[in-house]
Structure 1
Amino acid sequence: MRSSPPGKSSDSRSASISTRISKATSPRVPGLSSPSALRRSVGPHSHLNNDARSDDDQHRTTLPPNPRMVVIQMKVRPRNIRNKLEAGERAYGFAVQLPSPDLVEIAGALGYDYAWIDAEHGSLGLSEIRELIRGADAAGMDSIVRVADHEPSFIQRVLDLGATGIMVPHVRTVDEAKAIAASVRYSPLGIRGACPSVRSVGHITTDWTEDYTRADADVLVFGLIEDIEGLVSVEAIARDGGLDGLVYGPFDLGMALGLDGDVSHPQLRAHHDRVAEACKAAGIEYVAASLEWEFGALNESGARIVTVAGDRGVVFSALSRALAEVRMAGTPATASHG
C-alpha cells in the first residue's frame, strides 16, 4: 500500500519518518525534565520528605499519578487496517450513517475491523462523528470518515478528533488527489494544521515529535472514483495522486451515465474492473464497497479492504425479515371472554 505524499518517494518518506522517530526523546510533561523526575514527583511516596525537596519538586506533587501514561492510553488506537494488510489479510468494515455509537460497538464485538463513518450522506455533524470515533476506539476498530468534500479544514478537524483516516468523494484529477493527500499530513509533508491539544494526541501532547510522526505514518486516505472525469483519469490518479487507495462509486457514476442508479448494469461492472486494475498497476489498495455482486469478485479485484454492510441496510433488512416471519407464523387465536 502506497502512502507517499505528492513529490515524495516512499523510500525518502520512510527515511524522513524514521529520522523523526529516532529524535523522539523522553516523556515531556511540563515541569519535568526526565522519566526519573516524573517518578520522583508522582511516585507512591511523593508526599513524604517535602521539607527536603525544592519548591519546584513540591509543586510537582500536585500532578495526578503518572499523567503521561494516562495520555498515552488515550491516544493509542487500533491500527487494524494496516496490521491486516501487513499480515496479508483482509480488513472488513461496517458503514455508518446513523449517529449510533452502540451500532459501532456491536460491529466491533462481532469482529469488524473498521467503521466507515459516512459524513457525506449520513445525518452526522462533528459532535456525532466524534462519538462514533469514540465508539470505534472503544470497540477496537479503526474509523474511516467519508467527508462531504475536499475542504482541508474539515478534514483536519475530523483527524483531530482521532479518525484513522478519511475517504474523499468525487476525486476527478491527479491535482485534486495530490491536494487531498497533502491535507492529511503535517508540514513539511503536507498542509495539515498542527495543534498539541486535540483528541487525537490524547487531548494534550506529551511528545509532539512522536505524535505527529506517528500520525503522518499511520493516517489512511482514500478517494472515490464516481464521475466520468475521474474514470477517464483513474490510472493517473492511482499512479500519481499519493492516495492509499481508491473506492468505486457506481451509483453517482451510473447517474452521470444515464443509467438511473442501476449499479448492476454491465457497463458499470466494466468500469469497476478498470478502477480495480488501475489500483493493482499502481500498487495501491482497491477498497470494495457493500455491493453483493462485488463480493463474488474480491480475488479478481484484489480488494483487501472490504466494507461488508451498512447500518441502514442491516436494520431495514432485519426489521423487514422479523415482521414477515411473525406474519407468516399466523394470527394469534382470538381470546375467549367468558
Structure 2
Amino acid sequence: MQSDENRFKTWMQTKGATPPLGSWIMSASPLIAEAMGYAGYDWLLVDMEHSPIDLAQTTSILQALSGTPSEVVLRVPWNDPVMVKRVMDAGARSIMFPFIQSVDEARAAIAATRYPPQGTRGVAAMHRASRFGTAPDYLARANDQVAVILQLETPEAVALLPEIAALDGVDAVFVGPGDLSGSMGLLGQINHADVQTALRDAAQAARRAGIACGIVGADPAKVRSYIEMGFSYVAIASDLALLMGAAKTAAASVRGQAAPQASGSAY
C-alpha cells in the first residue's frame, strides 16, 4: 500500500515552484499502469470517465500502482456518491470529479468523500482502504487524507472558481481544455487564441484564489506552455496516447515517412 501521507494533497497545499507532473491511465491494464508508475511521473490519474475501466479493474490498477513511486488520483465517471464510496473503499483517496457546474455540486462532491459528521460517505469496516480492517484508527484518520479535485469545464464553471475554491474541503481545481473548447463553440480547437486566453485566465484566477489549478496537455511543449501560464500541477497525455505516439513514429520511421503529428485533440 502507499504511505499514510497523501502526497498529492500535500503538493496541492504547498503549491511548490515545480509543478507535479502526471499522466492519465486509460488502458485498463494493471501491467501498463504499473510500468507507468516507474516512468518518472509524480502522479497518475486512473480515468473512469473516458475509458472502459470498471470498478474491478480500478481495484487491480490501484493494487498495481501501490508499490510504485507515483501517487494515484482517481477520476470518477460522475459526481455520484455511490461510486465515490466504492472507489474510496477500494483505496482511492485523491478523487477528481468531472464537470462541476455549481457551488452546490461542489459541496455534494466534498460531502461524498467524508465520513460523518463532515460528510455522507457510507461506513464499512472491511475493505482495501482500511487494509481489510487492520489500519489503526482508519475511520478517525480517513477524512484528513482525502484530496478533492473539481473539474471546471465551461466558462460558467470557471467564473465560479473563486466561490468553489473558498469551500472547505476543496484541495484543487482542474480545467478540462477539451470540454472548455467545446463549450466555447470551438470543439477540439484547444490552440485557438480564445481558448488559450480562457485557460490562462483560469490559471490566474486560481492563483488569486490561493488554490492549486491543474491541466493536461498532449505533448511536452504544450505542457510547458501551461506551466508558464501559471498552472500549479500538470499532466501529459495518457498511457494510450504515449503508446500510440511511439508506435506511429516507429512505423513511420521504418517506412521512411515523416513522423506523424501528435493527435491529442481531446486535450
The higher radius of gyration belongs to: 1
Structure 1's 150 and 83: CA in aligned 2 closer, same or farther, altered over 3 A?
closer
1:94 to partner: Cα distance: 1.8
| CA drift at 1:87 | 8.7
Unpaired runs of at least 5, structure 2: 258-267
2:252 pairs with 294, 304, 324, which one? 324
Task: Give the conservation status (yes or no) of the 8 Å contact 2:223–2:234.
Answer: no
CA contact (8 A) 1:250 1:263 kept: yes
Who is 1:187 aligned against?
116
Instruction: Give me the identity figure in percent.
Output: 28
SS in 2 for 1:319: helix
What SS does structure 2 have at the residue aligned with 1:105? Answer: helix
Shift of 1:299: 4.2
Equivalent residues in 2 for 1:237-276, closer than 5 Å: 237-240=164-167, 242-276=169-203
Equivalent residues in 2 for 1:133-172, closer than 5 Å: 133-172=62-101
Structure 1 residues 18-167: aligned runs within 5 Å: 74=1, 76=3, 79-84=6-11, 86=14, 88=16, 89-167=18-96
User: Match for 2:100: what amino acid?
Assistant: V
Look up the equivalent residue of 2:250 and give its one-letter code: A
Matched AA of 2:31:
D
Q: Residues 58-116 of structure 1: CA distance to partner in whole angstroms, max 9, x if unpaired?
A: xxxxxxxxxxxxxxxx5745633245554934322120111111222222212212220
What CA distance in whole angstroms lies between the structure 2 residues aligned with 1:170 and 1:241? Answer: 19
TM-score in terms of structure 1 length:
0.69
- Aligned position for 2:161: 234
Partner of 1:211: 138
The letter for the 1-side match of 2:238 is: G
Distance 2:213 2:256 in 1: 42
Q: Deviations over 1:256-306 (max 9, x none)?
A: 222121011111112112221222122211112124434224144141x22
CA distance in 1 between partners of 2:5 and 2:199 (Å): 30
Amino acid at match of 2:240: R
Q: Tell me: CA distance 1:156–1:286, structure 2 relative to 1, closer, same or farther (3 Å).
A: same
SS of 2:132's equivalent? coil
Aligned amino acid, residue 260 of structure 1: L
Contact 1:142 1:164 in 2 (8 A): no
Mapped to 1, the partners of 2:3 and 2:106 lie a distance apart of 28
User: Once the 2 structures are TM-superposed, how far is the Cα of residue 153 of structure 1 from its aligned partner?
Assistant: 0.9
Equivalents in 1 of 2:130, 2:140: separation in Å? 11
Partner residue of 2:208 out of 281, 294, 298: 281
Aligned equivalents of 1:212 and 1:266: distance in 2? 48
Secondary structure of 1:138's aligned partner: coil
Q: What secondary structure is seen at the aligned counterpart in 1 of 2:35?
A: helix
Q: Is the 8 A contact 2:9 2:146 kept in 1?
A: no
Q: Could you tell me which residue of structure 1 aligns to residue 265 of structure 2?
A: none
Contact 1:105 1:139 survives alignment (8 Å): yes
- Give the match for residue 174 of structure 1: 103
Residue 53 of structure 2 aligns to a residue whose secondary structure is coil
8 Å Cα contact 2:9-2:171 kept in structure 1: no
Q: Distance in 1 between matches of 2:139 and 2:206?
A: 28
Provide TM-score, normalisation by structure 2: 0.87
* Counterpart code for 1:267: D
C-alpha distance 77-240 of structure 1, shift in aligned 2 (>3 A): closer
2:212 counterpart letter in structure 1: E
Cα distance per residue 1:20-54 (max 9 Å; x no partner): xxxxxxxxxxxxxxxxxxxxxxxxxxxxxxxxxxx
1:169 Cα deviation (Å)?
A: 0.8
- Report the secondary structure of 2:255's partner residue: helix
Q: How many residues align?
A: 253
Tell me which protein shows more helix as a share of its residues.
Answer: 1
Identify unmatched segments of 5+ residues in structure 1.
1-73, 330-338
**Contact preservation (8 Å) 2:23, 2:45:** yes
